[in-house]
Structure 1
Amino acid sequence: MSKIKEYLKAHPQIWLLAYWPVHGLWYSLLQQTTMGRDPYPIVCGLDYKIPFCEWFVIPYILWYVQLGLLGVYTFFKRPAKFFRFTVMVAGGAFVCMLICTFIPMYFDRAGMEAFPRENLLVEAVKLIRGIDPPTTVLPSMHVYVSVALHICLCKDEKLARYKLLKYSSLVLCLLISASTVLIKQHSIIDVFAAFALVPIMYCLAYVLKHQRLSKFFKAE
């Protein structure tokens, strides 16, 4: 027990991981209950003009890789950065979840469900639609988190030195954002709502000092 206490004292950032299991359960609950709460349909005319492109399921899936790799790297290799990383990434995801909890919404893709062709990538899109129904959509967490991860990478002096990595991250961020509307998981409205949330969370994560919390989590 004393060793555990010593480890937690030496690595206080581990407490920040506690949010993610809660997030997963919360997200799952909203998926199951949103459609029974008379949700607001989110859709606009531009959504019908954006073509379906199954190739964008690839960057959509790469979002999970992006989150996992940068999260693990920051936690183990840059622990002093992990507090602000968590505020930026998990904090924004938390805000998205709060909005979707109090204002139930769904992406109304009526008239956009049909697939123009059949292939392996289309099957992947079908699988995603089966697992992840278009609820908890505004702001788009896929878009917000991807942009937040790119910002966190750029705020890491060691990673930001590698221009190829930085520009690759930007390209991936843009592709992921585009993928949400090109595989019809989100309305373009959700994308812009996510972009609007970014500067607010940036100020909370990187402008505010958080003196007491920074001291507790040994953050820079």
Structure 2
Amino acid sequence: MDYLKKSKHLWIIPAYGIFYMISFMFVERIPVETHLIHTFLDDKIPFCEYFIIPYVLWYFVVLGSVLYFALGSPGKKEYYQYMGTLGVGMTLFLIISYVYPNGQDLRPVLEGGSPFIQAVQFLYLIDTPTNIFPSMHVFNAVACCVALLNNKKCRQSRIFTAGNIIITVSIVLSTMFLKQHSVEDVVTALILNMICYQVFYRIIPENLKKFEKMFTVREIFTLPNFLSAGRLTLALVFMAMLQRHNMRGEKSLLALLLLVVIATDILDGRIARSSGRVTEIGKLLDPLADKVMQFVLLACLVPKYSLAKLILMFFFIKESYTLVLGWKYMLDADKNQMVRWHGRLNTMISYVVGLILFAAPRIPSSTANILVGAVGVCMLMSFVMYMDEFRLLQEQTKGTVSKKIPGRVS
């Protein structure tokens, strides 16, 4: 009985495992047109059947690492860091697979009867070339490697560390040399690994007390937070309607959905301020919902407007910059609101332009490009102003500037 009480945290593994398998089979079995993922680099990488060895080793590596951190690791901290990383990555993969059905056409026609070729043929038979973005083979392998590298006991053995790195690199390469994944799948998985590492191994441990105060019933269950979470859900529903269900002809429904998104964006801030329920979670959830919706709008406009693709690329640059430099300030008591008036303006312009273009798809291309360009201009202005504010905040932290940065304008 005492063992069961001490091991309650282990139920995360089977519970999430069942949820993941059911969700993955559900997504896999829904017939839908997939978006092919293919880059010019994929054509440069030759097929090599011998990489089936590290590819199969992945199953043993992941299973062994999960058992080690569940049963053999000295503390729960590393267990939760590893499980949190796997859980976030795999959940995001399920969401992406549903809202953006994807696949690849890289597999060659296999000839020959060698054991390696036969093993690859069996792999192709049991593993469909769909729902590959980002590569969970790569993500989980790298997450395992990072977890073991951060474990003090494993780090003591240089041979084990070197072997861990070599096996991980081999697994990553195997996904491309076996034509199981595109380079784009691999790169995206590595980026997701870097983000999860920062969150679970740097940000949360360094701000644990603050997070313990944030994640309470009173802080989480507020109407503004529900509105922000609802807007985040609507963003995913909007993308699923376009990408999975191909409902581009449902202009009135898409426009109505965008109007609801805009309404929730306006209401959550006003309700929070008027009721005095401005929470730390809300300060993070509100801009997250805005960024996800901006991304969804731009991604859905890319197939029709070429300019939207450039703006989407710039969006990633801008948000990566603000995430890397602004994150450490967001968790400080006096600097946690990094959303300024120009950021809000950029968001609202994106919403309005998206509403116009989806509600009136027959608008002249010249006018549409001007509207899309306006989103890019506002985004550039916001980016420049954020850069200046981060510079001043860095100087303030060093004590070289006493100028106070204006608070958030919602």
TM-score bracket relative to the smaller structure = 0.7 to 0.9
Q: Which residue of 1 aligns with 2:94?
A: 97
Q: Which residue of 2 aligns with 1:160?
A: 155
Q: Structure 1 counterpart of 2:145, which letter?
A: H
What are the ranges of 5 or more consecutive residues in structure 1 without an aligned counterpart? 214-220
Is 1:72 aligned to residue 67 of structure 2? yes
Judge which range, 56-65 or 92-101, deviates more: 92-101
Judge which range, 154-163 or 16-25, deviates more: 16-25
Q: Which residue of 2 aligns with 1:193?
A: 188
TM-score (norm 1): 0.87
Q: Following the alignment from structure 1 to structure 2, what is the Cα–Cα distance between the partners of residues 133 and 48?
A: 20
Note the C-alpha offset of 1:136: 1.6
Aligned 8 A contact 1:154 1:166 in 2? yes
Judge which range, 20-29 or 59-68, deviates more: 20-29
Q: Structure 2 counterpart of 1:196, which letter?
A: I
Secondary structure of 2:42 counterpart: helix
The number of residues matched between the two structures is 205
Which digits, 9 at most, give the CA deviation of each residue in 1:150-175, with x for residues without a partner? 00001110111111111111111111
Note the C-alpha offset of 1:198: 0.9
Is 1:41 aligned to residue 36 of structure 2? yes
Note the C-alpha offset of 1:29: 2.3
Judge which range, 47-56 or 7-16, deviates more: 7-16
TM-score (norm 2): 0.48
Note the C-alpha offset of 1:98: 1.6
Secondary structure of 2:36 counterpart: strand
Note the C-alpha offset of 1:116: 4.8
Which digits, 9 at most, give the CA deviation of each residue in 1:57-109, with x for residues without a partner? 11000000000111111100115121111012232122222211211100122
Q: Which residue of 2 aligns with 1:216?
A: none
Q: Following the alignment from structure 1 to structure 2, what is the Cα–Cα distance between the partners of residues 120 and 163?
A: 33
Q: Structure 1 counterpart of 2:94, which letter?
A: M
Q: Following the alignment from structure 1 to structure 2, what is the Cα–Cα distance between the partners of residues 163 and 31?
A: 41
Please provide the CA RMSD for this pair.
1.7
Q: Following the alignment from structure 2 to structure 1, what is the Cα–Cα distance between the partners of residues 123 and 44?
A: 22
Match of residue 143, structure 2, among 148, 152, 155:
148
Structural mapping, 1:1-80, within 5 Å:
3=1, 6-17=2-13, 18-33=15-30, 36-78=31-73, 79-80=75-76
Greater relative contact order: 1 or 2 (C-alpha under 8 angstroms, separation 6 or more)?
Answer: 1
Q: Following the alignment from structure 1 to structure 2, what is the Cα–Cα distance between the partners of residues 118 and 186?
A: 23
Q: Which residue of 2 aligns with 1:106?
A: 103
Aligned 8 A contact 2:172 2:186 in 1? yes
Larger Rg: 2
Note the C-alpha offset of 1:12: 2.6
Q: Structure 2 counterpart of 1:178, which letter?
A: L
What are the ranges of 5 or more consecutive residues in structure 2 without an aligned counterpart? 214-410
Q: Which residue of 2 aligns with 1:170?
A: 165
Q: Structure 2 counterpart of 1:179, which letter?
A: S
Which digits, 9 at most, give the CA deviation of each residue in 1:103-137, with x for residues without a partner? 1100122xx42125331111111111111111121
Note the C-alpha offset of 1:32: 2.0
Aligned 8 A contact 1:107 1:135 in 2? yes
Q: Following the alignment from structure 1 to structure 2, what is the Cα–Cα distance between the partners of residues 154 and 44?
A: 32
Judge which range, 194-203 or 148-157, deviates more: 194-203
Is 1:118 aligned to residue 113 of structure 2? yes
Report the identity percentage: 27
Q: Following the alignment from structure 2 to structure 1, what is the Cα–Cα distance between the partners of residues 200 and 93?
A: 16
